[in-house]
Chains A and B, each alone.
Chain A
Amino acid sequence: MRNDHIRTDKIQIRRSETSSDVERLKAEREKTRKFKKGNRMMVVLGAVLILVFFFSTALFVTVSREHFHPAYLMELSRAQMMRFFNFITGAGAEGGIQFITCRNVMIVMAGACLAASGAVYQGVFKNILASPTTLGVMSGGSLGNILYALLFVSLSPVSAKLSDLSASSLSEIPLLDRNLQSFMVLLGCFMAVLTVVGITLILGRGRIRSDHLIITGIIFSSIIGSFSSLVQYYLIERNPADPRIDIIRSMTMGGFGNTYKPDQMMLMLGFLAPCVCALMSVAGRMDILALGDEQAATMGLNVVFFRNLIIAVNTVMTAVIIAFCGQIGFIGFIIPLAARRLVGPRFRRLLPASMLMGATLLLIIYDIAHLISMTAYMNVLTSALGSIVMVIALIRGGGVSRAD
């Protein structure tokens, strides 16, 4: 009797196990299917990026409106492709192909990191408005640039000569002097983020609330914006041909005109690669952080430490890009939206996907800018595209809460 009872119990248990097993299997199969789909998506995105990179390196440099004839274009492209191939295989660099490749690598890095930082900010603060622009990083960069222009740019003829030096003698100038503007911008970005986060801490009495952070960032940006226009006004009133005005203004438009040297690329890579690695290594914990402060705390995460860490890493990433390439808006706004549509909200997928997509998009935009000769005004193009995409996404997705 007793044994029977136990046996029936066991059978029942087994039966229930089997039914739950089927469900679990189904769920796992679903998960693997999704995983494979995500993998496939990643491969496709990577392939697209490589393709676009190849095209914009080998093809688009030769395009200009003056010589728009197909046969001529084909011939130029063939020659350029040969040069690119030679450069890659190490056979030799001719026709400035190394500079073009460097610039395109930098565009890829900039796009990737801006998109990644946008994705991280949006996910961690659970707010679509959170991006490098709204948190005051970009305006801090422009403040640093203004300070550089006012303090370090001397108007004597000697310094004017310095900019016309050839590349060989330029490398003899120490690194800090050569990239002084970039370092000032970097410093401005860090100070801005420290200020914004500090004010937010004071506002929230020791806690960081995302709406406080965004409000403070917007206000800080508007103060810096009015300061910038003030400085420009004074400079123009005194002397309209002042070179400092161009220094201040070219920063706000963004561009890759100054960034084509291999040492700049290595400098940028040295800053950016550790940041990306750090972000990828804490991707799982960012998922937990996105659940909300209390949930994350109950799951054993040091919320304050992690959030500060993520803000710091993100700031370094964005600031380096701003320092070298100027302000390029909206990449961090739109790419995470699209990437979340494609691969879902988990950071382990979202970060690489948005990096690939951001790099692709920025390359394409640069090529278009090249076609219409607006490469010095990258910010205009990215903003135009970004605002249109953003508005359409919001309308079709049904609002912020759904677009997340």
Chain B
Amino acid sequence: MRIRTGNQRIQKTGARFSVFPVLILLAVFLFSLCFKVSEPGMIPVQAMSNLWTAVRLKIAELLHQPMALDRFEIIREQDFYYETIRRLKNSFVTLLSGAAVCAGGAVFQTMFRNPLASPNILGISTGVNLGTILFLYLFPTTAMGMLEQRYLYCFISAGILVGITMLAGWAAGRKLGNFSVMDMLVVGAVISQFGSVVTMYLQFRLEEIDVNLLTSYQEISMGIYVLTDTKSILTFLLLMTVSMGPMYLLRYRLNATVLEDMDARSMGVSTHRLRTAGMLCGAVLAVTALVACGDMGILSMAVPPVVRYLCRGADFRKILYYSICAGSILLLLARSLCSMIFVAGMALPVNFAISVLVLPLFVFAMSRQRSVYA
């Protein structure tokens, strides 16, 4: 309850969310729809009219109106129709994966009370890269068409790496009597270093088979190639819903993991179960996003501390909301700006741009905090 001069009112105790980030997100989304250098001659008005046509056609198709019958005629009249649809899908996937990566990072960091305990340090990034390259190595000719297998391989390899990390951290903590984040981080750093060395070795072997395979691996891991077909978008949405649902339901309880274990237990919250649930959800989110959009794991480490610094607090609900917005904005912005920067005749990979763009912010946010986790 807060008393204000003038009108006295009782304020709700729930967290208040600003609409501002969502507005920025919408603006950036529109920007990424309108501007891209890869299709010269296409103006923003045309993109908008194409989108409007697409929406009208979809509605007509659903309601069985006569307009749906001559849709090919209508589409032929529009310039750049398919380019616009592709751009829409691309931006949509980018937005979702930025959101998912940062949500995963926020969950991990809140649970472990440490900004380094993010998916990319605990081995998820490396796991996804390893899964992708193993998959390419095993199915050199048919790799790009096999979506389920790709998800399967990435999930299995990331699961193994994260599982080893967690188990080792848990076993080390059990011996001491309490769970230690630092142990887990050490194991994670070790495991992911090993994974990246194996990935590098497999790159050598991949080049021996076919150089084009190596190029396609690089395109996947650097975020140039994005999964935009309908099936993969649906899979993405399904996995995201499955993992975001529990997180939304647990949003109050996850705050309790910030407390010490004993305190949380005395308040009636089982931190162990909560950690397991949160970890599963966060890992699924991060892996899904990384499979769809390349190795953007650095976002999951860098964005939540910046958000925590800007919010001046560690309320999980706020952190989750603002991290999702900030991640989507950053990834969308980086992708559309990268498509305009040409180095040696090719567009700049998003991975590099992200790490150059975000890490100074992260360092700044870390330097302004008194303790590592505030």
In the complex, residue of chain B having the shortest beta-carbon distance to the beta carbon of A219: B359
Check A216–B363 contact: CB distance below 8 A.
yes
> Is B187 in contact with chain A by the CB < 8 A criterion?
yes
Check B211–A129 contact: CB distance below 8 A.
no
> Is A133 in contact with chain B by the CB < 8 A criterion?
yes
Q: How many residues of A contact B (CB 8 A)?
A: 51
Check B186–A394 contact: CB distance below 8 A.
yes
In the complex, residue of chain A having the shortest beta-carbon distance to the beta carbon of B302: A219
B-contact bits for A310-353, CB 8 A (1 contact / 0 none): 00000000000000000001100100000000000000000000
By Cβ-Cβ distance, the 10 closest A-B pairs, closest first, are A398-B175, A387-B194, A240-B211, A399-B172, A383-B197, A203-B367, A399-B183, A395-B171, A233-B218, A383-B194
In the complex, residue of chain A having the shortest beta-carbon distance to the beta carbon of B368: A203
21 A–B contact pairs at CB < 8 A? Answer: A203-B363, A203-B366, A215-B115, A216-B363, A218-B189, A222-B359, A223-B355, A226-B352, A230-B222, A233-B215, A240-B207, A383-B193, A387-B193, A391-B190, A394-B186, A394-B187, A395-B172, A395-B175, A399-B176, A401-B176, A401-B180
Check B200–A253 contact: CB distance below 8 A.
yes
Specify which of A237, A394, A401, A402 lies most central, judged by the most chain B CB atoms within 10 Å of its CB.
Answer: A394
Shortest CB-to-CB span from B207 to chain A, Å, is: 8
In the complex, residue of chain B having the shortest beta-carbon distance to the beta carbon of A249: B204
| A239-260 contacts to B (CB < 8 Å) | 240, 249, 252-253
Check A394–B193 contact: CB distance below 8 A.
no
> Is B283 in contact with chain A by the CB < 8 A criterion?
no
> Is B15 in contact with chain A by the CB < 8 A criterion?
no
Check A377–B201 contact: CB distance below 8 A.
yes
**In whole angstroms, how far apart are the Cα atoms of A400 and B372 in the complex?**
18
Check A229–B222 contact: CB distance below 8 A.
yes
Question: Cβ of A236: which chain B residues have Cβ within 8 Å of it?
Answer: 211, 214-215, 218
Q: How many residues of B contact A (CB 8 A)?
A: 51
Check B197–A380 contact: CB distance below 8 A.
yes
B201's contact among A233, A253, A394, A402, by CB below 8 Å, is which?
A253
Check A394–B172 contact: CB distance below 8 A.
yes
> Is A128 in contact with chain B by the CB < 8 A criterion?
yes
> Is A199 in contact with chain B by the CB < 8 A criterion?
yes
Question: Cβ of A219: which chain B residues have Cβ within 8 Å of it?
Answer: 359, 362-363
**In whole angstroms, how far apart are the Cα atoms of A240 and B185 in the complex?**
38
> Is A261 in contact with chain B by the CB < 8 A criterion?
no
Question: Cβ of B176: which chain A residues have Cβ within 8 Å of it?
Answer: 398-399, 401-402
Binds A, one of B2-10, B29-37, B98-106, B343-351: B343-351
> Is A30 in contact with chain B by the CB < 8 A criterion?
no
> Is B164 in contact with chain A by the CB < 8 A criterion?
yes
Question: Cβ of A399: which chain B residues have Cβ within 8 Å of it?
Answer: 172-173, 175-176, 180, 182-183
| A377-400 contacts to B (CB < 8 Å) | 377, 379-380, 383-384, 386-387, 390-391, 394-400
Check B186–A400 contact: CB distance below 8 A.
yes
Check B190–A233 contact: CB distance below 8 A.
no
B344's contact among A134, A222, A238, A384, by CB below 8 Å, is which?
A238
- 4 more A-B residue pairs beyond the given contacts A133-B193, A236-B218, A400-B172, with a C-beta to C-beta distance below 8 A: A203-B363, A216-B363, A253-B200, A397-B175
Shortest CB-to-CB span from B169 to chain A, Å, is: 8
Question: Cβ of B269: which chain A residues have Cβ within 8 Å of it?
Answer: none
Question: Cβ of A134: which chain B residues have Cβ within 8 Å of it?
Answer: 189
> Is A232 in contact with chain B by the CB < 8 A criterion?
yes
Check A386–B218 contact: CB distance below 8 A.
no
> Is B22 in contact with chain A by the CB < 8 A criterion?
no
Check A212–B366 contact: CB distance below 8 A.
yes
